[in-house]
Amino acid sequence: MRWRPGGRSADLEDRRGEDDGGGGGPRFPGGIRIGLGGIVVLLVLSVITGQNFLSILDPGMTGGGGYDDAQQQAPRPSSPEDEEQVQFVSFVLDDAQSTWNRVLPAAGRPYRNAKLVLFTNGVRSGCGFGETAMGPFYCPVDEKVYIDLAFYQELKRRFGAPGDFAQAYVIAHELGHHVQKVLGISDRVRQFQESNPSQANAISVRMELQADCLAGVWGHSTNERNILEQGDAEEALNAASAIGDDRIQKSATGTVNPETWTHGSSAQRVAWFKRGLSSGRIDDCDTFSDRLPSER
């Protein structure tokens, strides 16, 4: 990507090195603590079975916005390499949100900026306690994207998806979820899942694929503004393919079970990102058709 370091975004919160306030991590009901290994086990079980095993953790102990400033420590100083990474994240964040501040009002809906939180190992969010092993995530409760920069090394080493535009795609995907929140789509999805629990996974896949398409809409904008360099689009497509449910399941268990997917297959993720990248139109990112109730 063609970008220039320009300092830190006003929408970026750097919580790296801070105490997450978790008192040793989240707990099971009754106060029994669970560490990183336990979280990983629950995540693997969730992927394999399609059930959200993290939901058994005590919500009073795992988040809900109870971030205590008194427990924070001073953020660790950044190395020059870390600071360059932070400034890259800031550039992508500001550029993507600038794009949505143009696109959504043109479609009749004002956009409001999300925040992006950098953390190390674990973090409290409005949606509960998050850990690096969970990967980047968006919390619709506090309208913030959370990411541990160590994930980018994981993306490169474990998933074989290097490159700066691969990293940008990850941020753009999570901001796609924020666009869904602004448009009221995420609320309608949640209502649908509550009314149709047997289809909760299937509708989750559609929501993730739409976020991929919305990331592509931003990618289209960067191409129009000559920000993309040769090979950038391929980096993002490679990243989308690398984190498909089928590839992750195959790697973890040796088998693939589409009924337990939550994000979509590699082919689906690539196809929807390419659609947004090619057209640059929100209207081409309808992954739901008639599955959701009309917006009131």
How do strand 12-14 and strand 115-118 relate by DSSP bridges? parallel
DSSP labels, 65-127: S---GGG--PPPPPPHHHHHHHHHHHHHHHHHHHHHHHHHHHTT----PPEEEE-SSEEEETT
Task: Tell me what the mean pLDDT of segment 147-174 comes to.
Answer: 86
The percentage of residues in the chain with a pLDDT greater than 90, rounded to a whole number, is 43
User: What per-residue confidence (pLDDT) applies to 224?
Assistant: 92
Q: Where does the pLDDT of residue 285 fall: very low under 50, low under 70, confident under 90, or very high at 90 and above?
A: very high
Q: Where does the pLDDT of residue 207 fall: very low under 50, low under 70, confident under 90, or very high at 90 and above?
A: very high
Asked if residue 270 lies in contact with residue 237, where contact means CB atoms within 8 angstroms, the answer is yes
Of the listed ranges 51-55, 94-98, 219-223, 238-242, the one predicted with least confidence:
51-55
| Residue 210 pLDDT exceeds 80 | yes
* d(C-alpha 170, C-alpha 153), whole Å: 13
* d(C-alpha 267, C-alpha 245), whole Å: 10
Select the more confidently predicted residue: 78 or 278: 278
* d(C-alpha 259, C-alpha 102), whole Å: 38
Which one-letter amino acid corresponds to residue 126?
Answer: G
By three-state DSSP, how is residue 129 classified?
A: strand
Tell me the pLDDT tens digit for each residue of 56-81.
554 333 233 333 333 334 445 667 78
- Rounded to a whole number, what is the largest CA-CA distance in the chain? 56
Could you list the beta-strand ranges (E) of the chain. Answer: 12-14, 115-118, 122-125, 128-131, 137-139, 144-147
User: What per-residue confidence (pLDDT) applies to 77?
Assistant: 60
Q: Where does the pLDDT of residue 103 fall: very low under 50, low under 70, confident under 90, or very high at 90 and above?
A: very high
Tell me the pLDDT tens digit for each residue of 5-45.
878 999 999 999 876 654 444 444 444 444 444 555 556 55
Asked if residue 99 lies in contact with residue 218, where contact means CB atoms within 8 angstroms, the answer is yes
User: What per-residue confidence (pLDDT) applies to 182?
Assistant: 96
What angle, 0 to 180 degrees and rounded to 10, lies between the N-to-C axes of helices 200-224 and 80-106? 100
Q: Where does the pLDDT of residue 233 fall: very low under 50, low under 70, confident under 90, or very high at 90 and above?
A: confident
Q: Considering the entire predicted model, what is its pTM?
A: 0.77
| Residue 164 pLDDT exceeds 80 | yes
